[in-house]
Every structure is written in C-alpha cells, then in structure tokens.
Structure 1
Amino acid sequence: MSESPQEPSSIRRAAFGVLMDAETVVGMYEYLAERGVRIWIDGGWCVDALLGRQTREHPDLDVALDRKDEEEFAEHMKGLGYTRRRDGDDTAWNYVLTDGRGRHVDVHVFEYDESGKNAYGIAYPYGSLTGQGRINGHAVDCVAPEWMFAFKTAYAPEERDLKDVHALSEKFGFEIPPTHR
C-alpha cells in the first residue's frame, strides 16, 4: 500500500468540502492499522460498514480513538496531510482534522479505566466498540450494531438519520421508536 490513501479520479464536493469516499476511508484505516494505531469507525460510515454497503454520501469520517494512541494517530494523520481545525467547537477529546483539500475526520477520543468505566473523553459505553463491518469489501472495527442504533435514536433525527435507523432495523431486527418512524 502507498504511504497515503489514493485520491479518487473524480471527487465530488460536499457542502463544506470534499466528500469522504470509501477508498479514502479504507486507505486511511489500513494505513493506521499497518502502523499499530487502532481506530473504530463511527457515524454514517459505521452504519454503512455494518450494512456492508454504502447507502449514501458522507461529508466526513467519524472515528473513535483510544487516548493511549492519540499522539501516534495525530503524527500519522499529519503525515497524510491532516491538521487540527480550530473553530471554537473543539475540545481535547472531540475535534476535526482536515487535509486542506476539504476532507474531514471527526475524532472522538475515549479512555476506559481498569474496571471498564469511561475515564476520559467521549463516553462510549464499555463493549460498544465491538462491531465488525465492511467498507468496500474490507473488514473494519466499528461501533456494535445495537449501540449504533441506540446512538442514532437518542436525538431528534434528520432525514439521513431516519434512513440509517430504518436500514439498521431492517438488517438487525431492532424495533424503531415512535420518534423515528
């Protein structure tokens, strides 16, 4: 594999930049894995990974990252041309990296203590990062289906969230709450 994920020949633009395509996601995932940095796919790409197919375009990539790997992750992402965007909405544990070409990675840092309790950052419930999915035929670690469904139904939905919830329900048999029907 090359040192950086391949940029597709035709790139479509999202409202705030370039769409995050499957080839870039897989390239980044494998690049980091080859260097010993584990990430878990979250958000819309997680839904698609769990479904095993891309269902919509994605303006960004959401990743969960263990705090112990954050420094090495940042170094490797810098090598891929990604830097931290400072816009006032970021925190030490939730921030956006951008590559200057318009692609965005939304980073969600977490840490568990010895007993499995969240000790820092994004409060991923223990056991929620046990999902396995496929993007472009490549296996990826991601949020477990039942947790992704719970996360997607915990807030007032936008149209894309409704589609995600219904697709997860259809594949995994989850009961759709009235707020998302």
Structure 2
Amino acid sequence: MITEKDAIALINLAESLEINVFIDGGWGVDALLGEQTREHQDIDLFVEERQAARFIHALHQQGFKERTEAYSTPNHIVFADADRRTVDLHLFNYDADGCIVFEGETYPADTFSGEGYIGKKKVSCIPPQAQVAFHTGYAFDDNDIRDVLALCRRFHLSVPNEYLPYAD
C-alpha cells in the first residue's frame, strides 16, 4: 500500500533530482479531489524517458526492485519494495509539437496540465477530463466507478455511458 506520506516522499525524491513527475491513477484522482478517498495499492507516475535512468537508480537506492507483471512493457515498469509498496512507472516522450507519446499513442500537450494536492503537497497530474476519458474502454472495477463518479460530480463532467448504470 502507498500511503499519503509514501506518495509525497516519492514525488519529493523525483523533485530532488530535478525530475518532473505527473500523477495518474488513483492518487491522481485523489490529488484532483484534494483528499485521499481510499487506500492505494500503488502510485502511477509518468516520467520523461530521458530522465528515467536517474529516477530508477534513486528507486533502487530506496529499496525498490523491478517486478514483472502481466501488463509490464518497456515503457510501463513496476517496482516494489520489501513493504510491498508499488510504483507503476510510465515512461513517455515529447514529440516535436510538444505532444506526449506513450506506448505508440500520442496525447495532447495538455494531458499533464492538471494540478492537485496530496496532503498539502501541490502536484502535477492528469486533468479531470482526461482522467475520466482514460477510465473508459476497459473492464473497470469498483474503484474506477467511485473515481469516475467523484470526478464527474466535482468537476461537473458528463458521466461516460458505460458508467451511467452506477450514477446516482
């Protein structure tokens, strides 16, 4: 489990190395909401590929080791430590137009323009509209339902069709 304290420590670690990290997943949702709404098994961090080696070295120094998962790819690397804290590291690049390229897909330059808070720590994250969009098109679970509905309520977004049966 990644606690608020763990999340902040990992972000501070990256910042101490002058590495920009962008928060996605459950912690990204909670950052946008400004509060922790549930326990998190991991933290999803996006790091520019050119900065990845330094961040991975720092993770190793903190006791994190690479762990292969069914969803692991060269650009989606999972790390865990002895306390079973897990970091899902997503490596991306910018193209010539400033758009984000991740695993062969190109995303708008503003994909990392969200801001939120983990505790009192201001963080960069995926904005609400993109978070909701990224939660569609796959078999979602109860956490996804809670996250999407909370974002839609807070930011006055339309609930995606596949989540409508779960909306109030």
TM-score norm. by structure 1 comes to 0.84
Name the CA distance, whole Å, in 2 between partners of 1:87 and 1:44: 18
Describe the shift of the 1:98–1:124 C-alpha distance in structure 2 as closer, same or farther (beyond 3 A): farther
Q: CA deviation at 1:122?
A: 6.4
Name the CA distance, whole Å, in 2 between partners of 1:36 and 1:27: 14
Describe the shift of the 1:63–1:100 C-alpha distance in structure 2 as closer, same or farther (beyond 3 A): same
Superposed CA RMSD: 1.6
Q: CA deviation at 1:120?
A: 5.2
Is residue 66 of structure 1 aligned with residue 57 of structure 2? no
Name the CA distance, whole Å, in 2 between partners of 1:118 and 1:137: 28
Provide Cα deviations, 1:43-70, integer angstroms capped at 9, x if missing partner: 0000000000011111111111111111
Name the CA distance, whole Å, in 2 between partners of 1:148 and 1:80: 29
Q: Structure 2: which 5+ residue stretches go unaligned? A: none
Is residue 107 of structure 1 aligned with residue 81 of structure 2? no
Matches within 5 A, 1:167-178: 167-178=150-161
TM-score norm. by structure 2 comes to 0.90
Consecutive aligned runs of 4 or more in structure 1 exceeding 6 Å deviation: none
Q: CA deviation at 1:123?
A: 3.4
The one of 143, 148, 159 aligned to 2:126: 143
Please identify which structure carries the higher helix content: 2
SS of match in other structure, 2:152: helix
The one of 27, 44, 53 aligned to 2:35: 53
Alignment match, 1:154? 137
Describe the shift of the 1:179–1:120 C-alpha distance in structure 2 as closer, same or farther (beyond 3 A): closer
Q: CA deviation at 1:114?
A: 1.2
* Amino acid in the other structure paired with 2:162: T
Is residue 116 of structure 1 aligned with residue 98 of structure 2? yes
* Amino acid in the other structure paired with 2:116: G
Matches within 5 A, 1:20-99: 20-87=2-69, 89-99=71-81
